[in-house]
Amino acid sequence: MTKLSLTSVLNESFQFGVSRFWTIIRCVLLPYIILVVGITIIALSLIDFQAIIEMADGGMSEPDNIDGFLDLVFRTNFWMSVFILYLASLVLMLPLMGGMTSLYRLVGLGEEPGGWFNLRFDGPMWRLVIASLIFSVIQYIIWGIGFGVAYALNPQAMEGIGEMIAVFQNMDFDTGNVGYDPDPSAIGALFGFFFLGWLITLILSIAILTRLAPFMAATACENRLMLLSSWSMTKGNFWVILGAYVMMVLGFVALQLIYGMLTLVIQMIVTVVSFGLLTAVYNIVDFAVNMAIAAFMLGVQVAFASSIYRKLWLEGGDSETGSGGLEA
Do 72 and 51 form a contact (C-beta atoms < 8 A)? Answer: yes
Tell me the C-alpha distance between 190 and 209, whole Å: 27
Alpha-carbon distances of 135 from 140, 216, 227, 325, rounded to whole Å:
9, 8, 9, 24
- pLDDT value of position 5: 93
**How confident is the model over 15-56, as pLDDT tens digits?**
999 999 999 999 998 898 899 999 999 999 999 888 788 777
Range list of H helices, the chain: 6-19, 21-46, 49-57, 66-73, 78-92, 94-109, 123-153, 157-169, 184-209, 215-222, 227-233, 238-274, 279-309
- pLDDT value of position 172: 63
Instruction: Give the residue extent of every domain in the chain.
Output: 6-314
- pLDDT value of position 328: 26
55 contact partners, CB below 8 Å, separation of at least 6: 61, 62, 72
Tell me the C-alpha distance between 282 and 1, whole Å: 52
Residue 74, helix vs strand vs coil: strand
Do 104 and 132 form a contact (C-beta atoms < 8 A)? Answer: no
- pLDDT value of position 245: 97
Residue 75, helix vs strand vs coil: coil
Tell me the C-alpha distance between 137 and 146, whole Å: 14
Do 314 and 324 form a contact (C-beta atoms < 8 A)? Answer: yes
Q: List, as one string, the DSSP characters of 205-229.
A: HHHHHTTTTTHHHHHHHHTS--HHH
- pLDDT value of position 327: 35
- pLDDT value of position 293: 95
- pLDDT value of position 326: 39
Q: List, as one string, the DSSP characters of 135-153.
A: HHHHHHHHHHHHHHHHHHH
- pLDDT value of position 323: 47
Tens place of pLDDT per residue across the chain (328 aa): 688 999 999 999 999 999 999 999 999 988 988 999 999 999 999 998 887 887 777 766 666 666 777 777 888 888 888 899 999 998 999 999 999 999 999 999 999 998 777 788 999 999 999 999 999 999 999 999 999 999 999 888 888 878 777 777 676 656 656 666 777 888 888 899 999 999 999 999 999 999 999 999 999 999 999 999 999 999 999 999 999 999 999 999 999 999 999 999 988 888 888 776 788 888 899 999 999 999 999 999 999 999 999 999 988 764 433 444 433 2
Q: Cα 269 to the chain's mean position, in Å? A: 34
**How confident is the model over 200-227, as pLDDT tens digits?**
999 999 999 999 999 999 999 999 999 9
Do 26 and 120 form a contact (C-beta atoms < 8 A)? Answer: no
- pLDDT value of position 75: 86
Q: List, as one string, the DSSP characters of 166-179.
A: HHHHT-BTTTTB--
Stated as kind and residue range, the H or E segment containing 182 is: none
- pLDDT value of position 279: 81
Q: Which long-range contacts (CB under 8 A, 24 or more apart) does 63-71 make?
A: 65/168, 65/169, 65/170, 65/171, 66/168, 66/169, 66/171, 66/173, 67/169, 69/173
The CA-based angle 153-155-158, given to 5 degrees, is 140
